[in-house]
Structures are given as C-alpha cells and as structure tokens.
Amino acid sequence: MENTQDNINFIPILTVFLSGLFGLLVAYITWNLASKREKEKFKQELAFREFKEKEELYISILSSLDKTVKFTKTGKDYSELFNDLTFISAKSKLLATESINIKFSEISDILYVWSSRYRQSLPKKVGGTDYGIVTNLDNEHREKADEIYPELIKSINDLVSIIKKELNYLKNELKK
C-alpha cells in the first residue's frame, strides 16, 4: 500500500516538472523564432537603406552629367559643379558597381573632350560687353564637338540602362 501512496504523491511532482520543462521549451522556441524574425527584419531594412543610397547616388550621377552638359551649352562656369562632382565621383567609387564606374569614367572622358571643344566654339566676348565674335577656328571646334556629342549621349543612355538593370535586380532581391 505504501508503494501506491508514494506513486500518487510522485505524479503531481512529475506533472509540475514536465509542465515546467514544456513551458521552458515553448519559451525557448518562441524566443528563437522571434530572434530570427528580428534578424530578418533588420537585414531587410539594411538592404532597403543600401538600395535607397545607391538609387540616390545614381540619380546624382545622372543629374550631374545633365547639369554639366547644360552648363557647357550655356557657357556657364563649372565652379558650382566642381564640389558636387568630386563628392559624387568619390561616393561612386565606394558604392557603385564596377560596370557603372567604368561607364561613368568613360563618359567623363568623352564629356571632357566634348565640353572643351564646345566651349572653344562659343563666341568670344568683346571688351566686357554681351557681344561676341565667331571665327573660322570656332566653327572647327563646334564641328568636332557636334561629331562627339552623339557618342556622349549614347554613352549616357548606356549608363542609364546599366543603372536601371542594377536597380531592378536590387528591387527583386528585396522582395525575396
């Protein structure tokens, strides 16, 4: 009889022990799942911030190219662009893909040659007035600039295509 009485007293203790063990197991699994979910959320937020940073960089690159072309065509001074271009170039070297940096460098070279020729073709101001003189040499520079311009535009359009592909790829990666 005593043996049966000991078993009856042992059952509640075993039930409490197993319930506590089960509770600990559930708590551990819940904590582990929540931790994984938080890590995934953090990774996704980080990837989204990196995407936005690249998107802003690429917009800045394209904007600076457009501004440079417009400044050249209007004969404006580049000093306003210089700091922006230096910063954008440095940031591009750090964040952009190799293919974008190569294309950006190629465009910069073409842009330099084109803008130099184009600026040389602009009328020379006469004695602080708004009047200018155009010479035959100016026409030669304009013709050369006009030959280079389609290549410049094609290269910029190629860069736009490369940027679009990369941003679409990154967007698709964010959705995974």
pTM for this entry: 0.76
The answer to whether residues 96 and 84 touch, using CB atoms and an 8 Å cutoff, is no
Portion of the chain with pLDDT greater than 70, in percent: 88
pLDDT digits (tens, 9 = 90+) for 28-60: 888 988 889 899 888 899 999 999 999 999 999
More confident residue, 128 or 140: 140
pLDDT of residue 20: 84
All residues at 6 or more sequence positions from 117 whose CB lies less than 8 Å from its CB, including other chains: 141, 142, 144, 145, 148
Class of domain 53-175: mainly alpha
Helix ranges, 75-135 (H): 79-95, 98-121
Q: Where in the chain are the domains? A: 53-175
At 121, is the pLDDT very low, low, confident or very high (cuts 50, 70, 90)? confident
Return the percentage of the chain with pLDDT > 90, whole number: 53
Question: What one-character DSSP code corresponds to residue 96?
Answer: S
